[in-house]
Amino acid sequence: MSAYVIDSQLFGNQFSTPSLRAIFSDESTVQRWLDVEAALAKVQGEMGIIPVSAADEIRRKARVELIDLQALSAEMARTSHPIVPLLRAMKQVCEGDSGEYIHWGATTQDIIDTGTMLQIRDALVEIERDQQRLLQGVLGLARRHRDTTMVGRSHGQHALPITFGFKAAVWGDEIARNVERIAQMKERVLVGQFSGAVGTLAALGKDGLAVQEKLFDELGLRCPNIAWHVARDRISELVTTLAITTSTIGKIAHEIYCLQKTETAELEEPFETGKVGSSTMPHKRNPPTCETIVAISRIVRGTVPLALEASVTEHERDKIGLQTEREFISKVCCMTAAAVAKLCAVIEGLSVRQENMERNLYLQKGMLLSEAVMMKLGLVLGRQEAHEIVYRICMDAFESGCTLKEGLIADPQVATRISSQEIDAMLDPHAYVGLASRFVDRVAGSGD
């Protein structure tokens, strides 16, 4: 039984992925703490700070399978401390007095923060991999539908023709910026923590900086300029960047959701026989994957204020912020990974209903091209005068149900200036997509 969706046997795969759950599992968390302790012992053994034999034994025994997690949990509750019970457990499994040399010069937060950074690094590998997959999928969609004309909408209403490739290229350009944001963020965020009790490395004296540098070189993390025990902007940036990423993903999923509505029916998320839309309406073909993605994006965005709250800390150490972070770091990483992976599947299996896109171009009986008519008339009458005339004709046509062409031909100010053949040419939606295809090429390339 689980009290939270990420770890739920029923709902877990809707809000996370198996690999992300493994990264942030209790076993992985403890193993990452042990990884930090083992790397610290290795470095200090090589530097002669602790006996080499002790360092070797600590490294041999720094394995989570040697730790009784149930007993560890009980001790954590009894001591109100996460790391001291682990150190005691390690002392018991290490031969001789080797366990006395574990955690030399470190403080609890050093181990927890650095272990967390190792988990975040692993999570970002998964997220970045799928972000690249998503980017390629969206750019491929843009290239394939470079010239597929569809309705462009503003304020929820028909506006002007675009191409579906243009819409997908807008998505792709934003995803590409998120790929760049994550890469840039990693340079600032993936930084280790080893600074001692109040950040001064006093326990190690003159060896402190060398131990710190060698430790993070061993772990593959960047070395901080100074302790960041109470400087939590790195975590805030992580959450904010992932929130931007999932906002993009949620927006795309919501767009697909909207374009799958029965009245529009231009797109549909992947469907296969057996996927059920309703327990009572057998005909339903709902977009549940897109709905879940949108929900995830809301949850992740909603975590940003909490991450900013957690960055307000006191003095040189503050557990309040750390306890707050413990609730949301794994959640945000798991949900972001789930959202990216789900949208990859949607994009790769997306049904593009070109026949419905074509049908919808004519729903307003030519009024989709009102700008084209206005601009043509504007050459003769001036833009503002042309706008007034076309506006009046469109409003009359809307109320009467006639076509825009009929309204234009019936108006003497228009009929004396534009021929019926010219009107037909202006009302061709395929001829008024502007530079949409050129923009697709700029973002996605030609695919040649």
Contact 196, 208 (CB under 8 A): yes
For helices 69-79 and 84-93, the axis angle rounded to 10 degrees is 140
The structure tokens listed for 120 are 């975040």
Contact 427, 370 (CB under 8 A): no
Domain with CATH 1.10.40.30 in the chain: 367-426
Domain with CATH 1.20.200.10 in the chain: 108-193+228-358
The structure tokens listed for 441 are 């090429």
Torsion angle, alpha carbons of 264, 268, 271, 274, to 10: -30
Provide the pLDDT for residue 341: 97
The structure tokens listed for 72 are 């560890």
Q: Is 119 exposed, middle or buried (0-12, 13-18, 19+ CB in 10 A)?
A: buried
Based on the residue annotation, tell me whether 73 is a catalytic residue of this protein.
no
Q: Bridge-partner residues for 153, per DSSP?
A: 158
DSSP string for residues in 214-269: HHHHHHT-BPPSS--SS-THHHHHHHHHHHHHHHHHHHHHHHHHHHTSTTT-SEE-
**Residue 160 backbone dihedrals phi, psi, to 5 degrees:** -145, 160
376-396 as b/e: b if 16+ CB within 10 A: bbbeebeeeebbebbeebbee
Contact 104, 50 (CB under 8 A): yes
The single residue listed with the structure tokens 């710190």 is 212
Cα separation, 247 vs 241, whole angstroms: 10
Class of domain 108-193+228-358: mainly alpha
What is the three-class DSSP state of 153?
strand
Provide the pLDDT for residue 447: 61
Catalytic residue among 2, 73, 81, 278: 278
The structure tokens listed for 359 are 């049908």
What is the three-class DSSP state of 149?
strand
Cα separation, 366 vs 370, whole angstroms: 7
Provide the pLDDT for residue 346: 97
Q: Bridge-partner residues for 191, per DSSP?
A: 222
**Among residues 171, 177, 153, 120, which one has the least CA distance to residue 343?**
171
Handedness of CA 332, 333, 334, 335 (dihedral sign): positive
Q: Bridge-partner residues for 163, per DSSP?
A: 149
Contact 439, 402 (CB under 8 A): no
Contact 84, 34 (CB under 8 A): no
Question: How many other CB atoms are found less than 10 A from the CB of residue 351?
Answer: 12
Catalytic residue among 155, 279, 283, 315: 155
Global pTM value: 0.94
Question: How many other CB atoms are found less than 10 A from the CB of residue 420?
Answer: 11
DSSP state of 191: B
CATH superfamily of 367-426: Fumarase/aspartase (C-terminal domain) (1.10.40.30)
Contact 418, 405 (CB under 8 A): no
Q: What is the pLDDT along the chain (448 residues), one digit of tens a residue?
A: 578 899 899 999 999 999 999 999 999 999 999 999 999 999 999 999 999 999 999 999 999 999 999 999 999 999 999 999 999 999 999 999 999 999 999 999 999 999 999 999 999 999 999 999 999 999 999 999 999 999 999 999 999 999 999 999 999 999 999 999 999 999 999 999 999 999 999 999 999 999 999 999 999 999 999 999 999 999 999 999 999 999 999 999 999 999 999 999 999 999 887 787 766 878 888 899 999 999 999 999 999 999 999 999 999 988 898 899 999 999 999 999 999 999 999 999 999 999 999 999 999 999 999 999 999 999 988 999 999 999 999 999 999 999 999 999 999 999 888 999 999 999 999 999 999 999 999 999 976 5
Cα separation, 86 vs 20, whole angstroms: 24
Based on the residue annotation, tell me whether 155 is a catalytic residue of this protein.
yes
The structure tokens listed for 98 are 């080797």
Contact 248, 281 (CB under 8 A): no
